[in-house]
Structure 1
Amino acid sequence: MDGIDDIEWRVTPGLTPYDTALAEMEARAAAVAVGTARELIWLLEHPPVYTAGTSADPAELVDPRFPVMPAGRGGRYTYHGPGQRVGYLVLDLNKRGRDVRCFVHAVEGWVIAALRHVGIESFRAPGRIGIWAHDLNGQEAKIGAIGIRVRRWVTLHGFAVNLAPDLSHFGGIVPCGIADYPVTSAQALQKPVDHATFDAALAFTRRPFLQSLSCPREIEA
């Protein structure tokens, strides 16, 4: 059983301050760990903010034009802002398979499947975490970021997919420490997708994602 009906599916309209979301997510994860709250998949947007993972290099903070917030997740600097769909995953790997690498792979596969559902082909790139697509010039460009933390085998953070953010905002950092490749979005690919449509694609493809967490095989996107 994938337990999909036991997971709260929450979509928050408007812009949620990053520190507010982080505090709520951490409290929820602590409650899930002791069995007093349901697991959570939370879809939201943030005001413009740069977040620093545990491996963030200050040299990669090029132009801190927006607030810089410590995130507590793995990885380096990333950007969140309007036009981006952020998904926070508070899931209990104690009952879904204690395999962090498999979990990250599964999240990537879920996002790739959801993008395909709305007509955008994306892929994994060896050695580069995240979700990638070919831009209009044929160059590989990052359309989605993955950042995960696991505490007591309960996951925190998740993914961010660029639907229609202001891509110039990424210029304040070296996104995820990768300077050799640009970022892109559904809008920049001339395949605009609104949040409700992408949320529906995520909902449609979530069952295979959750089922994959209990399977020893890596899921295929």
Structure 2
Amino acid sequence: MTQYSACVSPVPTDSRPPGPAAVPASQNREVVVRRLGLVAYQQAWDLQEQLLAQTLAVKTRNRQAQEAGAPVSATPNYLLLCQHPHVYTLGKSGKPEHLLLTEAELAGHGATFHRINRGGDITYHGPGQLVGYPIFDLDNFFTDIHQYLRLLEEAVIHTLADYDVRAGRIAGLTGVWLDFEDGDPNPRKICALGVKCSRWVTMHGFALNINTDLAYFGHIVPCGITDKAVTSLQQELGRAVSVAEVQDRLVPHLARLFGAGLVNESAS
């Protein structure tokens, strides 16, 4: 089973924050956290694919063990945290024309372009943006892709609240927004989400704009949405914010919402 969900998604209109994930004690709720720093997009993508394949291999062996009446092994969970050099990524349902640059113009802006295997349309990653890639086996938590997306959003919402920035959801749109309620004059996205889920193992994830150069969003139709703006924590606060500081605030919120334990690990 493979499911996709990304920038635009049929999300529940109920905006109440979800509670912590309830999981049986027999499942593995530890999350290995790797802080990768500034890393090329392809390198991070390759690492995600490697960890995904390893986890799926464990699940295959477990299925065979269950059929033979043998013990099974715990599947791992990972959270990769990083920043990328300037890059645009286009999801499986995206439109190439939403990239407004030619190849020569891309090079002139020091950016690269990748077609990738998440759902959704086009988005931008770059320095000053915190990107999180959870490689979670949702069988360890809950098998509900919408709940998974909502918990990622909720962790970002709580992190922004730590900076007295009020954020929330817009019905029908995945991600985290400011001025998100009906009638608010200037809805703007501060965090985009796009994921892939294979046999309940996730990859890709979220991108939170902290000190991001928002001019790069002017070269795309972000997530295919033409009538809403993009913002960053720096723009909202009027000052730069340490990406490492935001990262360290966000991780405990994620752990609490997923009912997870954390294992910090250096990048190999």
Q: TM-score, normalised by structure 1?
A: 0.88
Q: Note the alpha carbon deviations across 1:124-156, whole angstroms, 9 max, x for none.
A: 011121110149x95111100000100121000
Cα distance in 2 for residues equivalent to 1:209 and 1:34: 27
Match of 1:94 in 2: 139
Larger RCO (alpha carbons 8 Å, 6+ apart): 2
Contact 1:115 1:201 in 2 (8 A): no
Cα distance in 1 for residues equivalent to 2:147 and 2:254: 16
Match of 2:47 in 1: 24
* More off after superposition, 76-85 vs 102-111: 102-111
Q: How many residues matched?
A: 209
**Residues 1-221 of structure 1: pairs in structure 2 closer than 5 A:** 1=25, 3-4=28-29, 6-13=30-37, 15-35=38-58, 38-64=76-102, 65=106, 66-134=111-179, 139-190=186-237, 192-211=240-259
* More off after superposition, 114-123 vs 143-152: 114-123
Return the offset for 1:76: 0.3
Return the offset for 1:161: 0.2
* More off after superposition, 114-123 vs 148-157: 114-123
Structure 2, unpaired ranges of 5+: 1-24, 59-72, 261-268
Return the offset for 1:196: 1.6
Q: Secondary structure at the match of 1:189?
A: helix
Return the offset for 1:103: 0.9
Structure possessing the higher radius of gyration over alpha carbons? 2
Runs of 4+ aligned residues of structure 1 deviating over 4 Å after TM superposition are 1-4
Q: Secondary structure at the match of 2:252?
A: helix
Q: Secondary structure at the match of 2:48?
A: helix
Q: 1:104 to 1:56 in 2, by over 3 A?
A: same
Return the offset for 1:77: 0.1
RMSD over aligned CA atoms reads 2.1
Q: Secondary structure at the match of 1:26?
A: helix
Cα distance in 1 for residues equivalent to 2:236 and 2:248: 20
Return the offset for 1:3: 4.6
Q: Secondary structure at the match of 1:69?
A: strand
